[in-house]
Amino acid sequence: MAWPLPLLLLLLLATANAEIDDPPPPPPAPARWPDQFHAVLFTNLTNVSTASTGPPLRLTDLYYDWPRRRNLNLVRHQLSADPLYDVEWDNGTTFYFDTATCRTEHFPVGVLRPGWLSDGGAVYLGRQSTGGIECHVWGKAGFIVYYEDVVTRRPVRWNFIDVTGIEQFVMSFEVGVVLEDDAQWQAPAHCFPDDDDEGNTEDDGHFTTTSSMEAAKLLRKLAGAAAF
């Protein structure tokens, strides 16, 4: 049977009104980081034109261990045999070292909290596919753009808003995996030289591996920016 036109119109209007009256759904919220995980990150300093930033491609093992309030980035430059360690403690001390050099820095913040993104301040930027994975995207504090798998809610990628154009891609993400070997967390002897030893430089800004650590340092700063 044919609908009388006015009735059809009423129906349409009713539907339209229902849509207007429904409050829009809240934007998706990012997942909290698991308390412990191991991630392998592919890093690209996409704005390597800055020249001073060192080799642009790195592979980073990130061991995040919130219960023990520590965080380790093990950074390998492309084809480099000597990995760089970045060991962060909740008292604000970070040790950056390889087999020959060490630098100690003190930050006014501890280890990044699991809720650094999920607990507030994230601005939803919509959906985007990256690496063939459909993601929700958020920004925070003009500092980071963060991609999370729509289905699994795992982190997929983040870009720092920084002149080096650092982009990190999560290649694997193992929840609950902990680096138990305490020797890996222990800063080596050359981080604790005698007073007359030149081995350790503290906050002088000229340490050769500084630029290698930028991604980790940016995340650490974010811990401060997150401020809760």
Ligand X SMILES: *[C@@H]1O[C@H](CO)[C@@H](O)[C@H](O)[C@H]1NC(C)=O
CB of 191 to ligand X, least distance (A): 8
Contact segment (CB under 6 A) with ligand X among 26-34, 85-93, 121-129, 150-158 equals 85-93
Neighbouring CB atoms inside 10 A of 33's CB total: 19
Residues 43-72 that bind ligand X (CB under 6 A): 44, 46-47, 49-50, 57
Of 28, 76, 93, 188, the residue at the interface with ligand X (CB under 6 A) is 93
Token pair of 198 as six digits:
């030149």
45 alpha-carbon distance from chain centroid: 14
Residues 135-194 that bind ligand X (CB under 6 A): 163, 165
In this structure, what are the phi and psi dihedrals at residue 10, rounded to the nearest 5 degrees? -60, -45
Residue 57 vs 175, nearer CB to ligand X? 57
Of 89, 114, 128, 139, the residue at the interface with ligand X (CB under 6 A) is 89
Name the pairing type of β-strands 102-106 and 200-202: parallel
Q: What share of the chain is helix, strand, coil (3-state, %, to 5)?
A: 20, 35, 45
- Does the footprint of ligand X cover residue 211 (CB under 6 A)? no
CA distance 228 to 223: 9
**Interacting residues toward ligand X by CB under 6 A:** 44, 46-47, 49-50, 57, 89, 91, 93, 163, 165
